[in-house]
Structure formats: C-alpha cells, structure tokens
Amino acid sequence: MMNWVSIGSISDIPRRGARCVATPQGKIAVFRTADDQVFAIEDHCPHKGGPLSQGIVHGAAVTCPLHNWVISLETGKALGADEGAVRTVPVRFEGERLFIALEALASRAA
C-alpha cells in the first residue's frame, strides 16, 4: 500500500536546496532543483552517513558535505568513480502541496 503523506509546500524548500522530514525510519531529505523538480532520498550518504540534505545541490545531484561524494537525486546512486546508493522515496505534487510515499519506505526498510 502506498501511503502518501503531506509534508508541506514546494515553496518551503529553497531552489537548489533541501529540507528534512523526520520519520520513524530516520530523516528524509527533500530536494528542490533549480528547475523546480523535487526529489526525496534518505538523508544518509552511502559513504559515511553524511547528511545529504546539507550538501550543495547542482543539476539533479547533491554533493555530500562530509567527503564530497556526488549522489544522483533521481536514482540515489553515487556518481563518478564512487559506488553506493541511498534509498529514494517517491514524491508527488497536488498543486503546490508535496507528498511522499511513507509506506514504500517502511516496506523497503523492513
């Protein structure tokens, strides 16, 4: 079952920035790109667990603030020579409102 949970409005997130959503499974980082695409991924770099939400957002990717791994927001995979991936979380718009699929996260976490 997909459980879509409202997390706020797209305008809550700065362009080329991110905000966190606290969930029972840990923090989800929700990103907004320069061209208003929104992505949600686990806020946990596959390298050493750095908070990806604190990184610099460029294109559809984020650079982790701890050791500069670059993570694709679309796939959750590390780009370049690094290997690893974080879980992605489905995002949906209802007008300005943003929803993420929480169950999907829970089931994959299980």
Partner 1 sequence: MTEKLVIIGNGMAPGRMLEHLFEQVPGRYQVTIFNAEPRVNYDRIMLSPVLSGEKAFEEIIIHGDGWYIANGITLYKGHKIVAIDRTAKTVTSDHGVTEPYDKLVIATGSVPFIIPVPGHDLPGVLTYRDLDDVQAMLLAAQSRAKAVVIGGGLLGLEAAAGLNSQGMDVTVLHVMPTLMERQLDPAAGYLLQRAVEQRGIKVITKANTQAITGKGKVEQVELADGTIIPATLVVMAVGIRPNAALAKEAGIAVNRGIVVDAGMRSNDPDIYALGECAEVNGQVYGLVAPLYEMARVAASQLAGNEAAAFVHMDTPTKLKVTGIELFSLGDFAEGEDRQEIVLRDAAAGVYKRLVLRDDRIIGTVLYGETADGAWFNDLKKKQTDISQMRDTLIFGQSYQGGASLDPMAAVAALPDDAEICGCNGVCKGKISGAITAKGLTSLDDVRAHTKASASCGSCTGLVEKLMVLTIGDKYNPAAVQPMCGCTTLGHDEVRRLIKAKGLKTIPAVMQELEWTTSCGCAKCRPALNYYLVCDWPDEYADDYQSRFINERVHANIQKDGTYSVVPRMWGGVTNAAELRAIADVVDKFEIPMVKVTGGQRIDMLGIRKENLPAVWADLGQAGFVSGHAYAKGLRTVKTCVGSDWCRFGTQDSTGFGVRIEKFMWGSWTPAKVKMAVSGCPRNCAEATCKDVGVICVDSGYEIHFAGAAGLDIKGTEVLGLVKTEDEALEHIVALTQMYREQGRYLERIYKWAKRIGIAEIKRQIMDDGEKRRAYFDRFVFSQKFAQVDPWSERVSGKDKHEFRPMASVGFAQAAE
* Residue 5 touching partner 1 (CB under 8 A): yes
Residue 29, strand partner residues: 20, 41
* Residue 90 touching partner 1 (CB under 8 A): no
Using the structure block, give the residue that is written with the tokens 């991924």. Answer: 41
* Residue 104 touching partner 1 (CB under 8 A): no
Residue 99, strand partner residues: 6, 92
**Short-list 80, 79, 78, 17, CA closest to 45:** 78
**Residue with Cβ nearer partner 1 (11 or 84):** 11
CA distance readout (Å), 66 to 37, 47, 50, 57, 63: 25, 9, 6, 14, 9
Q: What does the per-residue mask of binding to partner 1 show for 41-60, with x meaning CB under 8 A?
A: -------xxxx--xxxxxx-
* Residue 70 touching partner 1 (CB under 8 A): yes
| Near partner 1 by CB under 8 A: residue from 2, 15, 92, 97 | 15
* Residue 17 touching partner 1 (CB under 8 A): yes
Name residue 16's amino acid: R
Structure tokens at 44: 């946990």
- Give the footprint of partner 1 on this chain (CB under 8 A): 3, 5-8, 12-17, 19-25, 27, 30, 33-35, 48-51, 54-59, 63, 65-66, 68, 70, 100, 102, 106
